[in-house]
Amino acid sequence: MQKLTSLDYGVFFVYFIIVATYGYWIYNRKRKLQSDSKDFFLAEGSLTWWAIGASLIASNISAEQMIGMSGNGFKMGLAIAAYEWMAAATLIVVAVFFLPIYLQNKIYTMPQFLRQRYNNTVAMIMALFWLSLYVIVNLTSILFLGALAVSTISGLNFTLCMIFLAGFAIIITLGGMKVIGYTDVIQVFFLVLGGLATTYLALNLVSEHFNTTGTMKGLSFLMSESSDHFHMIFDQSNPNYVSLPGLTVLIGAMWVVNLNYWGCNQYITQRALGADLPTARTGLLFAAFLKLLMPVIVVLPGIAAFVLWKNGMFQQDMLAGGEINPDRAYPVLLNLLPTGLKGLSFAALTAAVVASLAGKANSISTIFTLDIYKNFINKEATEKSLVWTGRVAVVVAMILAIIIAPFLGIDKKGGFEFIQEYTGFVSPGIFAMFIMGFFWKRTTVNAALFAIIGGFALSVFFKFLPDYADVSFLQSSGFAALNPASGVIEIPFLDRMGFVFVICVVVMITISLLTPAHLQPKDTLHVDIKMFKTSTGFTVGALVVIVILAILYISFW
C-alpha cells in the first residue's frame, strides 16, 4: 500500500498545531477559573450552541464509526445508517424531554441524578459500572480501532500509534471541558472536510472503474451495482437480519439504544449540562442536522469499497488472516487518496479518534472525581484538589486502556457491533431506570435495583437461550433469525434489548405498586409540564429534521 508522504505528514502536522494552539489559547483565556471543578468538568456557562453541537458529534464519531460503520457499509449497506439517522430524531426527543429535567434540577452527572432520585446505593453501583464500561469497552475500542487505522495508513508501529493517540487526547483533556468543547469545533471541521474528501474519491473511483467521470455518476453506478446495499429495512431472508432486524430499527429497540446513549450517558450529556436550556437545546438540534450528514461520510465509502472489491480491486488488501475483513474498507480507501488529500483525511480520522478519547476520558474523570472521590474518599476535598484528581484519573484511565485493549478480541468482531452488543447487555435496564425515574414519581429504589441487576441477568439469559432451547417459534414473528456465521437460530441483539426493556418496565411498575406507602420515595425531582415547551425556532428546526428523515426512509425503504 502507498504510505503517507512528507506532504501528507505536513498537512497532518498543521492540523495538530492548529488544535494544540487553539486549545492552549482557550485554556489560558479562562485559566483563572480552572480551579473551579464545575468549570473544569462542565465548562459551566461557557460553551455556545455551536460548540455543544460540534462537541457532541466529535465525541460520538470515532474509529467505531469511521472504521467500524464503514465496514458495516461494506458488509450490509445503507441500513447501518439507521444508527445515525435515528440518532437525529433521538437528539430532538432528548432536547425536549430530558434536558429540562437535568438542568432544572441542577444535575451535573448521571450518578448524581440517581442519587437524588433514588439513593446512594443505586448511584454508587452505577458509577462503578459506568467507569468499568467506559474504560473496558468504550475507551479500549476507540483506542484499538483508531490505532489500527492509523497504523495501517501510516505504516507506524501499532503500539506507538496507541500511545500517540492516547497522549494527544490527554493533552486536550487536561484542559477541561471548555478546551474539549472548543477544540472539538476544529476536530469536526477536519472530520467533515476529510470525510467528504474520502467519499468524493470513493465515488470518483467507482465512476472511473465504469469508464465515466463525475461524482454523481459514481453514486448512480454505486446504487445500480449494489442495489441490495441501499435498503434501510431488512426482511428475514437477508443474511444481516440478525444485526438489523427489520422494523426494530424504526419502532423497536433502536430507540432504547439511542435514547440511552444520547440521554442517559455522561459521556454525551455532559456537553450540555453546563449551559442554559435554550443554548443546550439549540446545540442538540445542530448536532441532529450534522447526524443527517454522517452516513455520507461513514457509510457511502464502505459501499463504494464493496463495489470496487466486487469488481476486482484491492482483493488482497481486504484480507486479514485469509478472510475478508470489512473493517479494512476505510483504511484501504484512504490509501488511494492523492498526496496531500490523504494527509487531510488522515487528520480527519485522527480528529475523530482523539475527540472521542478526550470526551470519554473527561467523563471517566468527572464520574470518578465528583461521584466517588468527593462522596466516599475525601468529602472535604477543595476545588483545586478535585481538578487535580480529575486530571490524574484521565491519565490512569488512558494507561489502563493501552494495556488491556489488545487482549479484548476487538479485531475478531466488527468494531462497531462489538460496542453496540456489549453495551446492549446493560443499556435496557439503565434506560428503564432513567425513564421511569423521570416520569413516574412512584418508582422505588428496589425497582431501580431490579433494573440494574435483573436487566443484566435477563440480557445474558436471552443471549444464551438459543444454546439451550428451541427458539424457532420466534421466527414466525420476526424475533429470531438464522445467523449465517454461526449456523444457528438466534435472537437479534436489538430484539433482546427490546425484550429486556419491556420486562424491566413491567417488573419495575409491579414492584413499585406493591411497595407500602411509607416506603415509597420522596418527591426529590422537580418535573413540570411547562418545562417541555420549546421555542418556535427550535420547533421549526425539529420539524425539518423529521421531514428529511421521512424522505430518506421512504426513498430507501
Confidence of residue 23 (pLDDT cuts 50, 70, 90): confident
Please answer whether residues 253 and 491 qualify as being in contact, where contact means their C-beta atoms are separated by less than 8 angstroms. no
344 has pLDDT over 90:
no
3-class secondary-structure state, position 543: helix
Rounded to a whole number of angstroms, the CA Rg of the chain reads 23
Domains of the chain: 40-423+527-555 (1.20.1730.10)
Please give the pLDDT value at position 51.
Answer: 82
> Among residues 283, 312, 359, which one has the least CA distance to residue 92?
283
Q: pLDDT tens for residues 196-241?
A: 888 888 888 888 887 777 778 878 888 888 888 899 998 888 888 8
> Among residues 459, 458, 462, 455, which one has the least CA distance to residue 435?
455
Q: How far apart are CA 271 and CA 53, in angstroms?
A: 8
| Sequential DSSP letters for 245-314 | -TTHHHHSTHHHHHHHHHHS-HHHHTTTTTS-HHHHHHHHHHHHHHHHHHHHHHTHHHHHHHHHHHTTSS
Of 402 and 473, the structure prediction assigns the larger pLDDT to: 402
Of the given ranges (4-8, 48-52, 64-68, 380-384), which has the lowest mean pLDDT?
64-68
> Among residues 398, 389, 383, which one has the least CA distance to residue 367?
389
Q: Which three cell numbers stand for residue 81?
A: 445508517
Burial (CB count <10 Å: 0-12, 13-18, 19+), residue 530: exposed
Of the given ranges (139-153, 292-306, 307-321), which has the lowest mean pLDDT?
307-321
- Cα 265-269-273 angle, rounded to 5 deg: 140
Phi then psi dihedrals of residue 183, to 5 deg: -70, -25
Q: How far apart are CA 201 and CA 194, in angstroms?
A: 11
Of the given ranges (145-154, 171-180, 374-383), which has the lowest mean pLDDT?
171-180
133 has pLDDT over 80:
yes
Please give the pLDDT value at position 292.
Answer: 93
Which residues, including other chains, have CB under 8 Å from residue 10's CB and lie 6 or more apart?
343
Mean of pLDDT over the chain: 83
219-238 per-residue burial string, b: 16 or more CB within 10 A, e: under 16:
bbbbeebbeebbebbbeeeb
Helix 140-154 to helix 383-404 angle (10° resolution) is 60
Q: pLDDT tens for residues 153-168?
A: 777 888 898 898 888 8
546 has pLDDT over 90:
yes
- Indicate the helix (H) or strand (E) that contains 482: strand 481-483
**382 to 365, 370, 373, 389: CA distances (angstroms):** 16, 12, 12, 10
385 has pLDDT over 80:
yes
**Average pLDDT of 357-376?**
85
44 has pLDDT over 60:
no
Please give the pLDDT value at position 316.
Answer: 72
Indicate the pTM of the whole model.
0.84
Of 42 and 465, the structure prediction assigns the larger pLDDT to: 465
3-class secondary-structure state, position 463: helix
Confidence of residue 342 (pLDDT cuts 50, 70, 90): confident
Q: How far apart are CA 326 and CA 194, in angstroms?
A: 21
Of the CA atoms within 13 Å of residue 192, those in its CB half-sphere come to 15
Neighbours of 532 (CB within 10 A): 13
Q: How far apart are CA 375 and CA 94, in angstroms?
A: 28
Nearest 10 degrees: Cα torsion 520, 524, 526, 529: -10
Q: Which three cell numbers stand for residue 141?
A: 475500542
Of 42 and 357, the structure prediction assigns the larger pLDDT to: 357
